[in-house]
């Protein structure tokens, strides 16, 4: 492939490695570079982007950490299929989560329902009390922005109370998709009069150790939110 960023728009000299990284990751995720394609040499990239070699090396290192490329001595850097090798971070770098919104909400629902079961079984008294407080915070939020932050805090606390490290790490990645784009998710909490009792039901079920009731409440909440986002 013969893709190269245009030399007529040199990269700003602020956070140069970040800009090199953004240019290359965009080319990979958009399909301009396809799996198994070899990237240009570091020297060629540096010359075309009008940056130094150190900036290119740093950007390539970040791409390798995200499993977007594979760097091998003597073979240069080859593009990986990010759908097979990447993590949730790839959605953040992609044009946005919109293309994958259905997948995102399906996975969110499955994770939160199971986390609620585990939380009802494993939560500490302090965690149970925190969930009750956060449910009240969602109900009392006056604006969508405050309600969205309260919703995130509630769900993050629920997953933390499940005491499953893999769930926790997944939530860390989801946070990078969600929090910078809260305006895009306003419909999650717009019908607070309807949703608030579901947060309360879930928090109370976790507090009472009722796994089935906790899962049912979270399932109803997630379903209502998904319908709201789709509408």
Digit-coded pLDDT (tens) for 89-141: 776 666 455 567 778 888 899 999 999 999 999 999 999 999 999 999 999 99
Is residue 72 domain-resident? Answer: yes
Residues 138 and 197 in one domain: yes
Range of the structural domain that residue 79 is part of: 16-85
Contacts (Cβ under 8 Å, ≥6 apart) of 147:
138, 141, 189, 192
Tokens of 144: 């969508």
Same domain for 226 and 134, yes or no, is: yes
**What burial class does residue 111 get, using C-beta atoms within 10 Å of its C-beta: 0-12 exposed, 13-18 middle, 19+ buried?**
buried
CATH assignment at residue 94: 1.20.120.530
Residue 186 phi, psi (nearest 5): -55, -30
- 165 lies in some domain: yes
Look at residue 4 and tell me if it is in a domain.
no
Domain-located, residue 25 = yes
Summarised one tens digit per residue, pLDDT across range 149-170 is 999 999 999 999 999 999 999 9
Same domain, 106 and 204: yes
């Amino acid at each position: 492939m013969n893709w190269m960023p245009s030399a007529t728009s040199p990269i700003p000299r602020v956070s140069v490695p970040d800009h090199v990284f953004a240019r290359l990751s965009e080319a990979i995720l958009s399909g301009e570079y396809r799996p198994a394609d070899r990237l240009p040499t570091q020297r060629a990239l540096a010359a075309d982007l009008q940056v130094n070699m150190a900036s290119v090396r740093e950007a390539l290192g970040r791409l390798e950490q995200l499993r977007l490329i594979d760097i091998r001595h003597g073979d240069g850097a080859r593009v990986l299929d990010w759908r097979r090798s990447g993590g949730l971070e790839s959605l953040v770098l992609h044009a946005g989560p919109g293309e994958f919104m259905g997948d995102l909400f399906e996975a969110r629902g499955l994770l939160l329902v199971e986390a609620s079961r585990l939380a009802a079984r494993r939560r500490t008294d302090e965690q149970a009390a925190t969930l009750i407080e956060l449910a009240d915070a969602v109900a009392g939020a006056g604006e969508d922005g405050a309600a969205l932050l309260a919703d995130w805090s509630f769900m993050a606390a629920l997953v933390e109370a499940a005491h499953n490290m893999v769930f926790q790490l997944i939530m860390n990645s989801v946070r990078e998709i969600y929090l910078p784009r809260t305006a895009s998710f306003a419909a999650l909490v717009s019908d607070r009069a309807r949703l608030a009792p579901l947060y309360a039901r879930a928090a109370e079920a976790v507090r009472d150790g009722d796994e089935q009731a906790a899962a049912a409440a979270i399932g109803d909440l997630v379903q209502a939110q998904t319908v709201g986002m789709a509408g």
